[in-house]
Structure 1
Amino acid sequence: MNPERVLDGLDPEQLQVARSLHGPVCVRAGAGTGKTRAVTHRIAYAVASGVVAEQQVLAVTFTTRAAGEMRTRLRALGAPRVQARTFHAAALRQLSYFWPQAVGGPQPTLVQNKATGVGQAARSCGLNLGRTELRDLTSEIEWAKVTQTRPAHYEEVVAAANRATPLPPRDVARVFDAYEELCREQNLLDFESLLELTAGLLNDRPDIAETVRRQYRYFVVDEFQDVNPLQKLLLDAWLGDRDDVCVVGDSSQTIYSFTGASPRFLLGFPERFPHATVVELVRDYRSTPQVVHLANELLRSQTGTSGAGHLELVAQRQPGPDPVFLECDDEPAEAAAVANRITALMDSGTPAREIAVLFRTNAQSATYEQALADAGVPYVVRGAARFFERPEIRQAVHTLRGAGKAASTDAEDPDLVTTVRQVLGPLGMTEQPPEGRQARERWESLAALVQLAEEVVQEHGPAATMATFTAELDARMATEHAPETPGVTLASLHSAKGLEWDAVFLVGLTEGTMPIVYAEDEPQIAEERRLLYVGVTRAREHLYLSWALSRSPGGRRNRTPSRFLDGLRPASSAGTTRSSSRSRPVRVECRICGATLVEAAERKLHRCSDCPADYDEQLLEWLREWRREVAVEQRVPAYVVFTDATLQAVAERAPSDSRQLGRIPGVGAVKLERYGSAVLELCAQARQQRSAHAERS
């Protein structure tokens, strides 16, 4: 194959990357600029040009998904034997191969669950830790290992860094030391030691290093802004005194500093290699000019060293809609407004799988899970269990149910919120959030239950009891559905890295959440800004940014929008969409008893769920059978076609034309166009059948 054909379709900057066949090369690639395309074409072009053999290339990235995508692209470009692996996979392969000749004896067992060993070490130090404390301690030990901090120096290092620790630093150091001793005694190897041991092997054994460097002489490292000191140590061992390496990254997307990642290796690459070729990819092919402009403005206000390396993106797509800023009275109103917007997007043709709701903490997902379930919108939770499936929530609900049964269901509870707080206290519901990432996430999940108690009190007033509260919990758990196919994505901003959607909702953008309350110094605040930047750049076309002025309906409206929105959102309230608990839904009355309807399903039916129905049972059966056939044909869950409540509303009203059908909540323009004719035909058949039956009678 003509090597030049590999370069077809590349833009000028991507072409410069691909033609830079010899290292060192530093590619600073902004979001959506085609960095994977550029580096895979560079590898394929080098192979096709005879610069390097496929087997001599090692492309390293951070996730198995990214490595798999790179292998797929290289296979399509005619380089199927190029090794594309994660750091850990590459290190394990090499260590396993050289272990017999370098060390001898039985190979160590790779630790799959480090928390088990850390727990044993903690107990040997006289510490009995809960599951959440143990996870935080394990993460802290991982941080120490990737930053090459030894147990003996741990206290000194964290004091100099002013780092918050999940346990007193002395206790962390003791457990850390005991854990390392346990691994030595039991011949265990965790992922951090795997990298360190492989690097040490290459540095201590010139013969082995020579073998590896003969095998791999052409290196590509993706997401270089996320490299930690331990990974950098291994990369340097692979390279030796050579410089044939191409690194790719974007310092504006550094969001994992808490794990030891640092953008300094990317930003300092030209200083280490003064003769390096540096290419900037700034043509954004992912997002509309409106989204790109907002992303640029978000980082432009970042000053000082934290703003170093910011790339100004240049949009390549056609113009699209302006980003929407949505201010709401309270969190339920915000979630309902988001669900309404999502329904409108789906009705206008945007697939559910191309929509995402992104939040700062996993605990925020509960409100959106409920709002989407109420609206009949399918969803999937990425990177975390659904709210009611999380271990801490399952334990909390079990405890709350027990407390509800113990209390008198007849007596009024004048202070339900305090009671719930007291019940959850032994599970971790403290007045102030604890230190430690896992412990804080657990606390935030429990705080969401306290917030639910506040909403129950707001709705029921003094009559709210523990029985009322547990009944609400049961009702909410019952509405959670597990979609058979992907729906709207609910995800934290961290887990959204590397993904993209047509429409993105960035929610909960208030001070204390974005930036998070425990981000205090300038570098931490800067990282929070970059995290929001990652969220913004996930959107291809539609972007919504929302916040709530209070947590619960009727609560004090003392929250303020995130400082990161200053200068981005419209200066006047006229430019910001408002959604409040007072104006969220228009008042809908039951057509039978006249009561105000609240639940989404009841509002679709225009009657209370327990009021007598007056629908055509035969028509409803026909509609359900038709829906089943359509769902099977389209390979989607039945409720994606129409929910049960919508079908029942159709059966009750039996519309005779498209205008009447389109007025039924849950139909919408897209579904009307897609399914309207079939539904109206069934309604007409039902009317004919009723007419014929009346004539015979």
Structure 2
Amino acid sequence: MTLTGEYPAEKASLLDEPHGNLVLLAPPGCGKTEALALRAMGLIESKRVTAPNKLLALAFSNRARDNIGGRIRQLTQPAIYRQLVDLTNFHGLAARIYQAHASTIGLDPEAIMPERGWLRQVLTTLSDHHPTRQAAMDTLTRVKLQPLSDEEIASELERSGNDLAITAERIRHDSRRLDYSDLLRHAQRILLNEGVAELYALHYSAIIVDEFQDLSPQQLSIVSSISRNNVTYAGDLGQAIYSFTGADPEAVLATLRRLPDVRIIEFTESYRSSPAVLDVLNAVGKPLGLLEVRSAEPATWKLGGFSGAAAYVTPEAEAHFVINSAKLILDHNPNASVGAISRAGYRRKALDQLLKEFSATHPVFVWDSPVHRPDILRILRKEMARIRPFGGSQQEQLEQLKQASIAAFEPSDVESIDDVQEACAFLADRVQEGSSVVTALDAIGASGNPERTVGPGLHVLNAHIGKGQQFDWVFVIGLEEGHVPMFLAKTDDEITEEHRALVVMVSRARHGIVGTRALETSTRYGPRASSASRWWDAFENASRNLGPALHLSLDAHLNSQING
């Protein structure tokens, strides 16, 4: 095989790996995506994947899909990639299966595809009580993790006694609409037909699956229906933060360990993060029993990287520290990427209020809207340039833009189509505020290249959105009880998932990691004292720079880097 000498032995061996089934356990920054790409290349070069068959590359999200696709393209010739690699996420695969074979189980192939937020909107119109809405959402998620027909779902809901879930499901069914959970359960049902499953098994010679810890047993069943003998799974239990979608990482990993002819490979060297970042990551992750990660090349990090922790009186003071620190970093290095990450959006309010002024001098990217996805933004601008010369009202232009942008994607790419619709809703809000569509588009920056690291500037986001991404510097804000972990987490399993969310936030950092908290936070009833997160001590004790002088320590570190 080619390229063997360019990679560490543990990864280079994937080019010639004889086992049919592989499970790659890779903590953050240990090169999981690169390992999957090497496995894909090895399968292609060894002729275990040949035309007309293909390699199916599956990811959990659009960002993860784009990451793995970019890495595989770097290692293969464009013509070979187009001919032999089929890249999608689980909802995209489920949509293809549904649209092609729905009639085999008596379903309508023309049903309305899922729209993000539709179910929550329906529940909101039916109830103004949040706990009641959440209970209905949880019930619907739970019953639809089984390969049941609509009639069987209705019966299960009747047995649950959740009237709100029953009503919402009836509305969905009567409107000939699918939610994302319906797409997956119907795909699972369709693949129970041995003839259909065999079609896909014949089409795909091998499968690679990214982020297996985010899979539900249902999604694993979909993969297993297509192939049980030539599948590579990669993931990390420490980043398992999607139980609310039905993910069951322990059960999935237990199933993977029982696969025929399976080999388990563990990676423990980080190629992403500095020793300072890894000290914090290991300290925070130790109670979870995670593998300890060491730097693969510690000498390459000037001063060993940076870590720090500090408490501020209010979220406003904390936010000014983050903004001033981001300015300091970007003034020293305009090419740096800085991530400001909170567990939930409400805790970012003080920071968000400072972004407009900051954006006058430095790039700012808020990841809350899909309009910041580079591929979505590129298509919106391209289609707007074509539409604009024909005139029309702003509303007419916006509707034309939405329809033209949707048409740019395959019908099965339901998440990208959903992202286009949400992005256009974002633009519609700007138009209502008095902007033109063109001006609104011009004011938006993409959050970087989805196939590589994110671009220069300050990136503001929540924990789940940033999963799979990396920044030169990360500020984890709001390390207080009630936020990290969230106040909604009550059971041991929920607390464990909150702990993993913190691991995800910390592990996004390459050179520097900083954790902050506020001594008091704002509520609808006024300020209240807040206590440190139960994981604060581990973060603080592993950090190299502490307290009120943290900004000065950061400045000295940056100056030392330049002078050194």
TM-score range, shorter chain: 0.7 to 0.9
Name structure 1 gaps, 5 residues minimum.
Answer: 158-168, 387-480, 586-667, 670-697
Mapped pair 1:565 → 2:548:
no
TM-score, normalised with respect to structure 1: 0.59
Task: Give, in whole Å, the separation in 2 of the partners of 1:549 and 1:152.
Answer: 50
Task: Give, in whole Å, the separation in 1 of the partners of 2:510 and 2:542.
Answer: 25
Q: Secondary structure in 2 aligned to 1:489?
A: strand
* Cα deviation, residue 283, structure 1: 1.3
Counterpart mapping for 1:567-606 below 5 A: 567-570=538-541, 576-578=546-548
1:315 alignment partner, one of 281, 295, 299: 295
Higher normalized contact order (CA 8 Å, seq sep 6+, divided by chain length): 2
Q: Secondary structure in 2 aligned to 1:37?
A: helix
| Aligned residue number for residue 685 of structure 1 | none
* Cα deviation, residue 249, structure 1: 0.7
1:24 alignment partner, one of 21, 26, 45: 21
* Cα deviation, residue 325, structure 1: 0.7
* Cα deviation, residue 501, structure 1: 0.6
Question: Are residues 191 and 524 of structure 1, via their aligned partners in 2, closer, same or farther at CA, if it must alter by over 3 Å?
Answer: closer
**Alpha-carbon deviations, 1:240-289, whole Å to 9, x = none?**
xx422111110000011112112124431454226410001221100001
Q: Secondary structure in 2 aligned to 1:147?
A: coil
| Percent of residue pairs bearing the same amino acid type | 26
| Aligned residue number for residue 253 of structure 2 | 267
* Cα deviation, residue 132, structure 1: 7.5
**Alpha-carbon deviations, 1:55-98, whole Å to 9, x = none?**
33211111233323333333332341211111122232233334
Counterpart residue identity of residue 233, structure 2: V
| Aligned residue number for residue 109 of structure 2 | 107
Task: Give, in whole Å, the separation in 2 of the partners of 1:203 and 1:575.
Answer: 57
Task: Give, in whole Å, the separation in 1 of the partners of 2:283 and 2:343.
Answer: 20
| Aligned residue number for residue 692 of structure 1 | none
Task: Give, in whole Å, the separation in 1 of the partners of 2:117 and 2:464.
Answer: 22
Task: Give, in whole Å, the separation in 1 of the partners of 2:352 and 2:107.
Answer: 52
Task: Give, in whole Å, the separation in 2 of the partners of 1:316 and 1:292.
Answer: 11
| Aligned residue number for residue 562 of structure 2 | none
* Cα deviation, residue 536, structure 1: 0.7
| Aligned residue number for residue 607 of structure 1 | none
Determine if contact 2:14/2:42 at 8 Å carries over to the other structure.
no
| Aligned residue number for residue 299 of structure 1 | 285
Determine if contact 2:20/2:231 at 8 Å carries over to the other structure.
yes
Determine if contact 2:214/2:249 at 8 Å carries over to the other structure.
yes
Q: Secondary structure in 1 aligned to 2:505?
A: helix
Determine if contact 1:141/1:176 at 8 Å carries over to the other structure.
no
Relative to structure 2, which stretch is displaced further, 91-100 or 221-230?
91-100
**Alpha-carbon deviations, 1:98-144, whole Å to 9, x = none?**
456x3689623233337657877x79xxx734598998578436523
| Aligned residue number for residue 551 of structure 1 | 521
The structure having more radius of gyration, on CA atoms, is 1
**Alpha-carbon deviations, 1:631-663, whole Å to 9, x = none?**
xxxxxxxxxxxxxxxxxxxxxxxxxxxxxxxxx
Determine if contact 1:227/1:265 at 8 Å carries over to the other structure.
no
Counterpart residue identity of residue 382, structure 1: W
| Aligned residue number for residue 412 of structure 1 | none
| Aligned residue number for residue 64 of structure 2 | 66
Task: Give, in whole Å, the separation in 2 of the partners of 1:552 and 1:91.
Answer: 43
Relative to structure 2, which stretch is displaced further, 316-325 or 214-223?
316-325
* Cα deviation, residue 11, structure 1: 1.3
| Aligned residue number for residue 410 of structure 1 | none
Mapped pair 1:5 → 2:5:
no
Determine if contact 2:19/2:263 at 8 Å carries over to the other structure.
no
Q: Secondary structure in 2 aligned to 1:560?
A: coil
| Aligned residue number for residue 380 of structure 1 | 365
* Cα deviation, residue 207, structure 1: 2.6
| Aligned residue number for residue 40 of structure 1 | 37
Task: Give, in whole Å, the separation in 2 of the partners of 1:110 and 1:357.
Answer: 37
Task: Give, in whole Å, the separation in 1 of the partners of 2:116 and 2:136.
Answer: 7
Task: Give, in whole Å, the separation in 2 of the partners of 1:195 and 1:108.
Answer: 16
2:501 alignment partner, one of 512, 515, 531: 531
Task: Give, in whole Å, the separation in 1 of the partners of 2:216 and 2:59.
Answer: 13
* Cα deviation, residue 301, structure 1: 2.3
Q: Secondary structure in 2 aligned to 1:217?
A: strand
Question: Are residues 98 and 153 of structure 1, via their aligned partners in 2, closer, same or farther at CA, if it must alter by over 3 Å?
Answer: closer
Question: Are residues 48 and 135 of structure 1, via their aligned partners in 2, closer, same or farther at CA, if it must alter by over 3 Å?
Answer: farther
Question: Are residues 134 and 383 of structure 1, via their aligned partners in 2, closer, same or farther at CA, if it must alter by over 3 Å?
Answer: farther
* Cα deviation, residue 342, structure 1: 1.5
Determine if contact 2:276/2:512 at 8 Å carries over to the other structure.
no
Relative to structure 2, which stretch is displaced further, 527-536 or 558-567?
558-567
Determine if contact 1:282/1:311 at 8 Å carries over to the other structure.
yes
Question: Are residues 128 and 298 of structure 1, via their aligned partners in 2, closer, same or farther at CA, if it must alter by over 3 Å?
Answer: closer
Determine if contact 1:28/1:248 at 8 Å carries over to the other structure.
yes
Task: Give, in whole Å, the separation in 2 of the partners of 1:368 and 1:105.
Answer: 48
* Cα deviation, residue 296, structure 1: 1.0
Q: Secondary structure in 2 aligned to 1:144?
A: helix
Task: Give, in whole Å, the separation in 1 of the partners of 2:330 and 2:14.
Answer: 39
| Aligned residue number for residue 198 of structure 2 | 210
Determine if contact 1:7/1:45 at 8 Å carries over to the other structure.
no
Question: Are residues 6 and 110 of structure 1, via their aligned partners in 2, closer, same or farther at CA, if it must alter by over 3 Å?
Answer: farther
| Aligned residue number for residue 95 of structure 1 | 98
Determine if contact 1:25/1:247 at 8 Å carries over to the other structure.
yes
**Alpha-carbon deviations, 1:657-694, whole Å to 9, x = none?**
xxxxxxxxxxx99xxxxxxxxxxxxxxxxxxxxxxxxx
Determine if contact 1:329/1:557 at 8 Å carries over to the other structure.
no
**Alpha-carbon deviations, 1:465-500, whole Å to 9, x = none?**
xxxxxxxxxxxxxxxx99554631110111111111
* Cα deviation, residue 27, structure 1: 0.7
Counterpart mapping for 1:162-201 below 5 A: 170-179=162-171, 181-182=173-174, 186=176, 188-201=177-190
Counterpart mapping for 1:271-670 below 5 A: 271-273=257-259, 275-302=261-288, 307=289, 310-317=290-297, 318-319=300-301, 320-351=304-335, 354-375=337-358, 377-384=362-369, 485=445, 487-551=457-521, 558-570=529-541, 576-578=546-548
| Aligned residue number for residue 626 of structure 1 | none
Q: CA RMSD in A?
A: 3.7
Task: Give, in whole Å, the separation in 1 of the partners of 2:538 and 2:241.
Answer: 23
Counterpart residue identity of residue 188, structure 2: A
Relative to structure 2, which stretch is displaced further, 290-299 or 55-64?
55-64
Relative to structure 2, which stretch is displaced further, 272-281 or 39-48?
272-281
* Cα deviation, residue 180, structure 1: 5.7
Determine if contact 1:255/1:527 at 8 Å carries over to the other structure.
yes
Task: Give, in whole Å, the separation in 2 of the partners of 1:179 and 1:144.
Answer: 18
Determine if contact 2:485/2:495 at 8 Å carries over to the other structure.
yes
TM-score, normalised with respect to structure 2: 0.72
Counterpart residue identity of residue 292, structure 2: E
Question: Are residues 14 and 155 of structure 1, via their aligned partners in 2, closer, same or farther at CA, if it must alter by over 3 Å?
Answer: farther
* Cα deviation, residue 21, structure 1: 4.0
Determine if contact 1:146/1:228 at 8 Å carries over to the other structure.
no
Task: Give, in whole Å, the separation in 1 of the partners of 2:221 and 2:101.
Answer: 19
Task: Give, in whole Å, the separation in 1 of the partners of 2:256 and 2:118.
Answer: 42
Determine if contact 1:155/1:173 at 8 Å carries over to the other structure.
no
Q: Secondary structure in 1 aligned to 2:540?
A: coil
Question: Are residues 107 and 266 of structure 1, via their aligned partners in 2, closer, same or farther at CA, if it must alter by over 3 Å?
Answer: closer
Task: Give, in whole Å, the separation in 1 of the partners of 2:210 and 2:26.
Answer: 10
Counterpart mapping for 1:72-151 below 5 A: 72-78=70-76, 79-80=80-81, 81=83, 82-99=85-102, 102=104, 107-113=109-115, 128-129=126-127, 136=134, 139-140=137-138, 143-148=141-146, 150-151=153-154
**Alpha-carbon deviations, 1:509-544, whole Å to 9, x = none?**
111111111212221111111111111110101111
Task: Give, in whole Å, the separation in 2 of the partners of 1:329 and 1:343.
Answer: 21
Relative to structure 2, which stretch is displaced further, 52-61 or 512-521?
52-61
Counterpart residue identity of residue 175, structure 1: T
Q: How many pairs does the alignment contain?
A: 459
* Cα deviation, residue 6, structure 1: 4.2
Task: Give, in whole Å, the separation in 1 of the partners of 2:131 and 2:116.
Answer: 14
Task: Give, in whole Å, the separation in 2 of the partners of 1:370 and 1:196.
Answer: 42
Task: Give, in whole Å, the separation in 2 of the partners of 1:383 and 1:119.
Answer: 18
